[in-house]
Structure 1
């Protein structure tokens, strides 16, 4: 049982996005409770240009008497009458990411990339967001708000910050496990294998036999699990930013950190090459930038800084700094210049730039009888991530000594970010719900899927290293790896028309890249000069119409992934 760094990256990325990007939609734009769940997809207009439905599925596919769940499904409809190609299901990662919010944000962009003759379909996995029953360990939003700051800001308490952090995090994991046990609403059925079965049920409700799917980050585990369970039902399956599914179900994501130091090095190298005009934290060599960051880390460890902003106040110490740096690695093309500016400001005594981009908006109690949501988006990402991750894996020892030993093992893989793998394992060490005996435990592959998978991996992904993609291709013979020569978490973080063209031809024609194909980015991470006072500022350029459509769609997709949080400033996966 392990909570991935991917899913809680959702919360931190979401925090940064809420701070610096206005949300296109919010939970208040549509009331899902007014939709009556049905065993058929009964569509109702929702949001603007979308359709929504709630689909009834069994909680337990082996025992109908256990009860049902209602899956929230939304689609950006195909505009084609004569050449309709069916639904493409999307998952933005997590676990705990809302597929509904993802498609509401990104549906038009994904339609541009894949083609308007597909329905672009988002669904909230069972237990998540608008699907019911919803995983909730807390009785009220206020109770949740009191608990969550320890996890959102800072997200990953580091044992390097103080000697008592590991013991404290372990104790909080015990509390969380007890809360889940006391408020259990069929949480044992909120597992990836059942979500995969729900995907097939959704596809069949569209009248289609085989699943078409694009999953990023944790969504790669979901896609791989589906292909392993239903190899004869694979229509088109893309898994992008690939986790080693055997490691996932074995509750040991040490391998997840194996490219994180490479991703950090890409910041050092790019910042140095850009010079002070392109990166505010620049120095003549990469090694000097690394030393400057080490000095900053030592400084805020020795003296935590008080911070006051227009809407909140708090402190900036070692943990928040490391969280901020790590999360920026997920989205280098839009965040590296801002990271450089934030580090430069911090070095000059201004902690507010980094702090303001790292925290969620302050909690406000709702007005009595108000229907206005407390958060700017409907989120139970943290609780859902815990339930799904801990329910998928194997039992974790709660021994403090064994957790310390695990941490030391991760430090052999990454010298910079071992705490990110430790944190979630520590939380799952307190999980007390009995694991389903029939939960998925393999096989971790399939010898003969009905259509080959397209597997995509970045060469310096800080969250899902390319070794996971290589292993997955071997587990599903006939599948092909498309390598993206870039840092960043999943191909959605990289401006690459090459990737989008391969995605389009795979979904439309079933054409796979030639073995060994490598895509490169369309643009450098650091321009020659940039106003990096806000995220994405360097992208404020007019795109030549001859290159246009896919590039504009790619940028919109990057922003949507960041806003929804599937890529990580929250992770997991």
Structure 2
């Protein structure tokens, strides 16, 4: 059952019990805000509304007339297009373990996403009559059929025609979205889904919470009117955008796995893959250190031997794809290099869980164990189960396309030669450019924009809060170009992140006055991809005590800086690595010493266990995300 269908939207927060089988004290609300903040709320089609889905885990300590309320922590899991409701369902208890049982937490679905209505769905067939609902089921079937059809093109460089057809496919979907927007007119969310709009929605959520606390006769929080926020991946762009638009509204803001805002709004987001191949190199290193615990290991292997075996497997798949008959569903299977490569790329997000599984998969390919490989391929019954499952159908939408493309500072209309040039430049940085470039193609030909200009001066969203590829400010905390917020931001990054490199975290931390930076000596996407009691302690002290680590000091600031330890900022060790290998080896320690700042460590087992629970919750969500993306033709489009 979908609990949201029974909740009547309201302009004030009205909390209803929901998801009781998961946790008894979960509460849901649907907060009504204007689709266009330049127009007042009304029932008119000319003034449509957005109903934001919010899931609350209340603080365990009951509020009394003598106890000041705590401002809730808002979560955004990234994407763009990730569901805050779903991430809170997975990790609510774990986060409260870190921040304390009295910390209320809210997961919300941004406009266009999942349970927030209207959803950004270009495929749902328009209503057949006035007042009739859209035909979402047939639209979903068409979406899945399209994804399966276009998956045959492989990756961008799979053939001499792949790019042409992939680009045409994205233009075709954008044409579909344009047609849907034209049919819905002012009621279409597609032109009102930008990050700037969502930042304005977060102001509405904060204000609605404060009104709700006041209506209960409770003392206001010391952070009344301020946003307390934790954003991951794309969620760091949302948080930074909020901080730039509403600097006096920042209460606490953690930005984890940092997106370079200046590149994100450009036609091609080029710098994301700076450290991707370094994460893959760590797979080879860990496998060699794990020995026989790693399925791809052979006696006496060093990291370079494992890497060589991996390259041989991928080259063999490229020249001679594996074929076999599915032992259960009885149909022919072709295992192509592009499919395996996308799995490898996904695993780089969560190395602790993913590396052992990847080693096993690669070893099956290496040894020709087709019965085990058959589990990667599903029967048509899975498609039918997806269509009938509202939790999953709500996740399959065009929110990512609508948000990401609306955030561009100019319409993207690249030619094939221009795309080729951009791809070749990206490929000089990473072997996974053929996967990442396909994400960039989503915005080619998208021309659905906000109908009229909007300005942050009138407390409404700025259309373009960031400028493409702006220069990095000097590493001087007193630089006048820095954005001064009512409370300093906290930036978190792994040393090697596959899609949000440390370079971006250092750069973005310099954009905000007195912002702290913590580098976690680990690999994977966002710091939650590893377990670190040190990082957990810093997060807890930041939220609960307002303790901010020092701003980064960069020795040689510049846009092309290679950040292999060339600066001073706080660094945290991880408590474990893949295969249980304790990751406090010489290379990490030397990296920390290069920066001239001592590595912090903490032995509080309670804090470590709390961070581990959050880590495991995120890993489970990402595992589901891999399953979802398989239905997108194994083309990885999600940033998170």
Please indicate the TM-score interval, normalised by the length of the shorter structure. 0.7 to 0.9
- 1:97-496 to structure 2, matched below 5 A, reads 97-139=82-124, 140-148=136-144, 151=147, 157-184=154-181, 185-207=188-210, 208-281=224-297, 284-306=301-323, 308=326, 310=328, 314-351=333-370, 353=372, 356=375, 362-365=381-384, 373-374=388-389, 377-393=392-408, 394-414=410-430, 416-434=431-449, 437-438=453-454, 440-443=463-466, 447-496=483-532
Q: CA deviation at 1:203?
A: 1.1
Deviation at 1:356, TM superposition (A): 3.2
Q: Normalization by structure 1: what TM-score? A: 0.85
Question: Which stretch of structure 1 is more off in the superposition, 444-453 or 63-72?
Answer: 444-453
Shift of the 501–381 alpha-carbon distance from structure 1 to 2, 3 Å rule, reads farther
Bigger mean CA deviation after superposition, 180-189 or 305-314: 305-314
Pairing 1:56–2:52 present: no
Cα distance change of structure 1 residues 231 and 408 upon mapping to structure 2, 3 Å threshold? same
Q: Would the alpha carbon gap of residues 443 and 179 (structure 1) be closer, same or farther in structure 2, given more than 3 Å must change?
A: closer
Name the residue aligned to 1:85. Answer: 70
Q: Shift of the alpha carbon at 1:296?
A: 1.2
- Tell me, what secondary structure is at the counterpart of 2:500? coil
CA apart distance, 1:39: 0.6
Cα deviation, residue 189, structure 1: 0.2
User: How far did 1:258 drift?
Assistant: 0.7
Give 1:335 shift: 0.9
After TM superposition, list the pairs within 5 Å mapping 1:511-522 onto structure 2.
511-515=547-551, 516-522=569-575
Please name the residue that 2:133 is paired with. Answer: none
- Give the corresponding residue for 2:10: 38
Change (3 A) 1:260 1:528: closer
Deviation larger for 477-486 or 289-298:
289-298
Whether the 8 Å CA contact 1:53–1:74 is kept in 2: the answer is yes
Report what 1:19 is aligned to: none
**Cα RMSD (Å) of the superposition?**
2.7
- Offset of residue 442 of structure 1: 2.7
SS of residue paired to 1:478: coil
Q: Secondary structure at the match of 1:148?
A: helix
* Preserved contact between residue 113 and residue 397 of structure 2 (Cα < 8 Å): no
Cα distance change on mapping 1:491 and 1:345 into 2, 3 Å:
same
- Give the SS at the match of 1:265: helix
* Contact map agreement 2:265 2:466 (CA 8 A) in 1: no
Unaligned runs of 5+ in 2: 41-45, 125-135, 182-187, 211-223, 455-461, 468-480, 552-568, 583-602, 630-637
Residue 242 to residue 342, structure 1, CA distance change in 2 (3 Å):
same
Name the larger-Rg structure. 2
Offset at residue 559 of structure 1 (A): 3.2
Q: Separation in 2 of the partners of 1:361 and 1:572?
A: 27
Match of 1:95 in 2: 80
The number of equivalent residue pairs is: 524
1:56-75 superposed matches below 5 A? 56-64=32-40, 66-75=47-56
1:407-463 per-residue CA deviation (whole Å, 9 max, x = no partner) reads 11111221x101122102222113232355445323568521000000001110001
- What does residue range 532-543 of structure 1 map to in structure 2 within 5 Å? none
Alpha-carbon distance in structure 2 between the residues aligned to 1:381 and 1:104: 18
